[in-house]
Structure 1
Amino acid sequence: MTFTIATLEEPRKARSLGLDLVDKLTADMRMGRLQAGEKLPSEAEIMKQFGVSRTVVREALSKLQAAQLVETRHGIGTFVLPQNSAPAFQISPHQLGTLHEVIALLEFRISIETEASALAAQRRNAENLAAMQDAMEAFANAIEAGRDAVQADFRFHQEIAHATHNKHFQDLMHSLGTGAIPRGRLQNTLPVDANRLAYLRRVHQEHDSIFNAIAAQDPEAARAAMRTHLSNSRDRLKKSARLSN
């Protein structure tokens, strides 16, 4: 399918360009120019068509994924989801545009995912553990390659929800999408410098603690490890908010 939408203006900020791209792609889906199940053009093709950077394209795709309008299949591409498949509970990309809103989402996740981790420790099977390990390996490979590992990070949390074998936890994480990962919202235009790399390695260590508790079928340890992990993310964002004031 060939896009026919006018090129976006280059001087505008990346965030504004990203939201414009989200709006235009969403309109194409609503008008039927992009059909459910259809594969989107490659990042390079979208960059050329709209005259925007790769960062803008990735930000827009991340927002569309968080809104459950598209899904990315690893190694295959990004596909349009049926509009009637959106879950009843949904957080719009526009609801996560500020630091305060992202902190509020983390507070919500702390209450949900600590219990999900405890249930996962009780109910996980070998397939669940293998899927978590795959996500952790993808996370490690991404950060060592200088990437931000947002997709792998979210996938790890999603696999924990799957390990609860409770549809409601699974649907909730699915509805949040990669927007659940704070740096996917607020920092995805920044380079992975030495400080961020050190932070991502700490996140990986926290994931490892959660995984070990779930693998050991220790609900209390899994609950504590997840609470520590998400609380650390929340506290880091609060600190950055204080420094920016």
Structure 2
Amino acid sequence: MQEDLEVPARKRSHNLAHDLVEKLTQRILLGQMLPGDKLPSENTIVQEHGVSRTVVREAISKLQASGLVETRHGIGTFVIERAPEQGLRLNVDTALGVRSILELRMGLETQAAALAATRRTDLQLAQMREALDDYQSLLANNDSCVEADRRFHLLIAEATGNVCFTEIMQHLGSAMIPRTRVNAAERGAVDLSKLGQLANLEHEAILNAIKRQDPDAARAAMWLHLTNSRDRFSAS
């Protein structure tokens, strides 16, 4: 009888550790904790997340196994630089490469937008709004808004609650917003400011659908945005 009671308890502890790993991994992948940063103390994590020390230790062990952190005995646990991934090489220095990336994103991010619409938190919605506000401010000043653009799409991936989306988007890195890396001669005469303004309108449609928690509208808005981005680039 005692063994029967212990099995659900162990399963619950494992699930809590998995959830904690997901949350900490998201923070690392989104750059909220950078290489060299020290993780909060065990006591702090226990208090912040309402879990036991056993759960925290299991989660830290999993983060170590995934190569995200290392523990220095007597000092603490630190985020470490991730080793370069092997096997996936993305060529975004040509027009063809950019179109290929956009087609990949069409498959990935339409589903991410739909999931984000049903799973996002108010905080995540506010962070998306902030990213678009930054985008618009930079655009108005003729400054590069690539990083704000990338942050908006990463936040949508985070709002899915599925770390796999964040992992893939993070792995894409600068390839996610690759248009400025293409050789100017191959890119042709492109008004980047105009493209930015059009993308801004499409971003707002995506955000509004996520705000309304309408997955079908979010999926459609993201599809339209990425399809238009591909077509605009192909026409340049």
TM over 0.5: yes
2:104 alignment counterpart: 108
8 Å contact kept, 1:121–1:214: yes
Mapped partners of 1:213, 1:99: distance in 2: 30
Mapped partners of 1:89, 1:165: distance in 2: 26
Pair 1:154 & 2:150 matched:
yes
Deviation (angstroms), 1:90: 4.2
Letter in 2 for 1:106: L
Mapped partners of 2:209, 2:99: distance in 1: 26
Number of paired residues? 158
More off after superposition, 163-172 vs 177-186:
177-186
In the superposition, relative to structure 1, how do residues 104 and 215 fare at CA in structure 2: closer, same or farther (>3 Å)?
same
Q: TM-score, normalised by structure 2?
A: 0.61
8 Å contact kept, 2:98–2:179: no
Letter in 2 for 1:82: E
Letter in 2 for 1:217: Q
Pair 1:82 & 2:95 matched:
no
After superposition, the C-alpha distances for 1:172-201 in whole angstroms (9 at most, x for unaligned) are 111111221132322789xxx994322211
Pair 1:122 & 2:118 matched:
yes
8 Å contact kept, 2:110–2:219: yes
Deviation (angstroms), 1:152: 0.4
Structure 1 residue ranges, 4+ long, deviating more than 3 angstroms after superposition:
86-92
Mapped partners of 1:235, 1:159: distance in 2: 24
Mapped partners of 2:130, 2:147: distance in 1: 12
Letter in 1 for 2:130: D
Letter in 2 for 1:208: E
Pair 1:184 & 2:183 matched:
no
SS at match of 2:143: coil
SS at match of 1:96: coil
8 Å contact kept, 1:178–1:184: no
Mapped partners of 1:203, 1:187: distance in 2: 21
In the superposition, relative to structure 1, how do residues 164 and 229 fare at CA in structure 2: closer, same or farther (>3 Å)?
same
Alignment of 1:205-216 (within 5 A): 205-216=201-212
Q: TM-score, normalised by structure 1?
A: 0.59
Mapped partners of 2:109, 2:118: distance in 1: 14
Pick from 218, 222, 234: which aligns with 2:230?
234
Q: Which structure 2 segments of 5+ residues have no match?
A: 1-34, 38-79
Pick from 158, 168, 171: which aligns with 1:172?
168
Mapped partners of 1:195, 1:110: distance in 2: 23
8 Å contact kept, 1:140–1:204: yes
8 Å contact kept, 2:113–2:210: yes
Q: Which structure 1 segments of 5+ residues have no match?
A: 1-35, 39-80, 241-245
Pair 1:141 & 2:137 matched:
yes
Alignment of 1:190-229 (within 5 A): 195-229=191-225
SS at match of 1:151: helix
Deviation (angstroms), 1:131: 0.9
Mapped partners of 1:130, 1:123: distance in 2: 14
Mapped partners of 2:235, 2:191: distance in 1: 15
